């Protein structure tokens, strides 16, 4: 990959990862528009690893709480921190299981098409709008149940289809269950930690086994650059969500989805 391609895609990944507009979809669309060779799933995961460090720094208090929660789980104590850790782990299991199956049957790359991204961008954008316009919501994360966490985790599986948006579908699920916008966004971002850790670990092992020094170097650059832009995006999302909700993202998704469908079929 050229340095220009790495820089542009890293910035796009960092900005779009935590916004409900699908980072994976944009990482397929932009190379197609510019005539670049698809960078592949491994580099995409490197982008995600960079954003992982960004979310861990932004939510450092919650991350420390989860570490204390791990200690509490090991010592058999039931605390708010241990409960949240268990919920995040339980919510991550579905996407790990389904992602593994898709990878084994080489289904991941099959879904990376403009037509698929166009439909998912449009449909799940409208679903986000429906969830955000649902009844008055008052639920907070300290009221979340294991069942609700698993439902959000089940919804996250749909993000394996490019264009769906991991953050978008998890926020949609949380909103439909009555969680406040800021709480839905916070749980979505915390849920990204074990999800990206799992994917990043598998990708790292694959890079190590391949012995491809250039691919490893590209992945490192991608991770660093996406980290910087993701920090800005997280701050922007948390600010916008509290003030004006998800409507700007819905409008963007509808316009983009329609444009992609015209591109794919006309």
Q: Which residues of the chain have pLDDT under 50?
A: none
Contact 120, 162 (CB under 8 A): yes
d(CA 95, CA 202): 14
pLDDT, residue 209, reads: 66
Backbone angles phi, psi at 136, to 5 degrees: -55, 135
CA pseudo-torsion sign 16, 17, 20, 22 = positive
pLDDT tens sequence across 60-90:
999 999 999 999 999 999 999 999 999 999 9
The pTM assigned to this predicted structure is 0.88
Q: Tokens for 209?
A: 């086994």
pLDDT tens sequence across 2-30:
788 888 988 888 888 889 998 878 878 88
Q: Which residues contact 67 (CB under 8 A, 6 or more apart)?
A: none
Backbone angles phi, psi at 139, to 5 degrees: -70, 145
pLDDT, residue 211, reads: 59
Closest C-alpha to 132, from 241, 236, 240:
241
pLDDT, residue 108, reads: 66
Domain boundaries, the chain: 3-265
pLDDT, residue 215, reads: 57
Cα-Cα-Cα-Cα torsion 69, 156, 164, 235, nearest 10 degrees, comes to: -10
60-74 vs 80-104: helix axis angle to the nearest 10?
90
């Amino acid at each position: 990959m050229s340095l220009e391609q790495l820089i542009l895609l890293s910035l796009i990944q960092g900005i779009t990862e935590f916004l409900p507009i699908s980072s994976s979809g944009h990482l397929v669309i932009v190379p197609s528009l510019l005539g670049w060779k698809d960078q592949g799933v491994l580099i995409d995961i490197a982008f995600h690893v960079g954003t992982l460090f960004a979310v861990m720094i932004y939510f450092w208090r919650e991350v420390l709480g989860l570490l204390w929660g791990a200690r509490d789980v090991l010592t058999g104590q039931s605390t708010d921190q241990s409960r949240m850790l268990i919920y995040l782990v339980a919510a991550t299991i579905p996407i790990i299981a389904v992602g593994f199956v898709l990878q084994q049957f080489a289904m991941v790359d099959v879904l990376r098409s403009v037509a698929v991204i166009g439909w998912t961008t449009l449909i799940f954008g409208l679903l986000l709008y429906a969830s955000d316009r649902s009844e008055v919501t008052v639920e907070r994360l300290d009221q979340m149940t294991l069942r609700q966490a698993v439902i959000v985790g089940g919804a996250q599986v749909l993000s394996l289809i490019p264009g769906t948006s991991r953050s978008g579908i998890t926020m949609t699920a949380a909103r439909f269950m009555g969680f406040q916008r800021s709480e839905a966004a916070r749980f979505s971002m915390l849920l990204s930690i074990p999800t990206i850790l799992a994917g990043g670990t598998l990708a790292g092992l694959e890079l190590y086994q391949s012995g491809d020094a250039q691919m490893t170097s590209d992945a490192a650059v991608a991770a660093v650059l996406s980290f910087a832009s993701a920090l800005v995006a997280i701050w922007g999302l948390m600010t916008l969500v509290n003030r004006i909700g998800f409507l700007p993202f819905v409008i963007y998704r509808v316009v983009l989805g329609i444009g992609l469908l015209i591109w794919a079929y006309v």
